[in-house]
Structure 1
Amino acid sequence: MRVYALDHVQLAMPRGLEDQARSFYRDVLGLTEVAKPPALAARGGVWFAGGSLQLHLGVEDDIRPARKAHPALLVDGLGELVSVCEAAGYEVTHDANLPGYDRVYVTDPFGNRIELMEPIGNG
């Protein structure tokens, strides 16, 4: 018996704001929307993928955004992605406290903290 991989990360979002999720995760971060199975699609929310990353946003009526707990997404071209985030109106916080990485934090439209990180020397 073993735990060997992470299948996906799920974050919460308010009901009916799937277009805001698409605007951030698809249009700003560049992830691809993935169709939810029909039985799960009826619940609302939206799923995204990029490389081996699977990120699901599920509807939560009494949403409490993840402000400390967060997904850390590996990226290529962090500087360009920071510019895209800022141009779309998202505030980016730089953090130089992790040796070997350039990294920033951005908050999605629902208040969830997202870490974007790039190994130094990849940009």
Structure 2
Amino acid sequence: MSGLLGYDHVQLAIPPGGEDRTRAFFVDLLGMREVPKPDTLSPQGCWFEAVPVSLHIGIDPDFRPATKAHPAFLTDDLAGLRARLENAGVTCQDDKPVPGCVRFFADDPFGNRLEFVQRF
């Protein structure tokens, strides 16, 4: 029996027409880069990566933000990332401590919950 090796990607949903706001958040604020989607998939949505992280953004016509379920992004500069987000007007929220890391939560432009973590 083979075991799981890790994640290939995480997918988040956004409402139709939200790609430009999503690009501004994930590329301009988080430093990811947009990568082309395969021609066999819908032209809507967008894909990003910051190796080894891959994020797929899909369009949901009945979009509702994920306010509990969330991806957790690992960083080596949590304080700098938080400052960049807050300077852009993004609200960052602390949560209960977790041993071995510091972390905070923020929402993407459409209310999807995101966690940012730095391990020590």
TM-score normalized with structure 2 length: 0.93
Alignment of 1:13-92 (within 5 A): 13-42=14-43, 44-92=44-92
Structure 1 Cα separation of the partners of residues 89 and 51 of structure 2: 26
Instruction: Give the fraction of aligned pairs with identical amino acids, expressed as a percent.
Output: 45
- Stretches of structure 1 that go unaligned for 5 or more consecutive residues are none
Which amino acid in 1 is paired with 2:35? Answer: V
Q: Following TM superposition, by how much is the alpha carbon of 1:59 offset from its aligned partner in structure 2, in angstroms?
A: 0.1
Q: Following TM superposition, by how much is the alpha carbon of 1:39 offset from its aligned partner in structure 2, in angstroms?
A: 2.5
- Runs of 4+ off more than 2 Å: 1-5
User: How many correspondences in the alignment?
Assistant: 119
> What are the Cα deviations for residues 13-56 of structure 1, in whole angstroms up to 9, with x where unaligned?
011111100110111111111111123242x1111101211111
Q: Following TM superposition, by how much is the alpha carbon of 1:77 offset from its aligned partner in structure 2, in angstroms?
A: 0.7
* 3-state SS in 2 of match to 1:39: coil
Structure 1 Cα separation of the partners of residues 97 and 76 of structure 2: 19
Q: Following TM superposition, by how much is the alpha carbon of 1:97 offset from its aligned partner in structure 2, in angstroms?
A: 1.6
Structure 2 Cα separation of the partners of residues 114 and 20 of structure 1: 16
Structure 2 Cα separation of the partners of residues 30 and 95 of structure 1: 24
Structure 1 Cα separation of the partners of residues 108 and 31 of structure 2: 13
Which amino acid in 1 is paired with 2:34? Answer: E
Residue in 2 that maps onto 1:7: 8
- Stretches of structure 2 that go unaligned for 5 or more consecutive residues are none
RMSD: 1.1
Which amino acid in 2 is paired with 1:66? Answer: A
